[in-house]
Amino acid sequence: DTGLYYDRYLREVIDVLETDTHFREKLQTADVEDIKSGKLSSELDLVSHHIRTRLDELKRQEVSRLRMLIKAKMDAEQGESK
């Protein structure tokens, strides 16, 4: 557990990236701080189109989830102020 609010999303991204042999090797030598900091992002240019497409879909899902949470929080706050 990274302790990050988006830990599930991060784990899904790592699972997808591990399907790429080259990137899996980079992940195996990286520590959690390298992953959290985005240090490995330069390696993303080397992954296949299929993997990039899957990562884009995961990102869309996470952004949608966060938007729903923000909307629910705003709705709850508006309900309390009435």
Rounded Cα–Cα distance for residues 9 and 39 (Å): 17
pLDDT interval class at 10 (50, 70, 90)? confident
Residue 34: predicted pLDDT: 80
* pLDDT confidence of residue 3: 67
- Evaluate whether 20 touches 51 at the Cβ level (below 8 Å): yes
pLDDT > 80? residue 31 = yes
Q: Could you give the CA distance from residue 29 to residue 48 in angstroms, rounded to a whole number?
A: 20
* Structural domain span for residue 29: 2-81
The count of domains in the chain is: 1
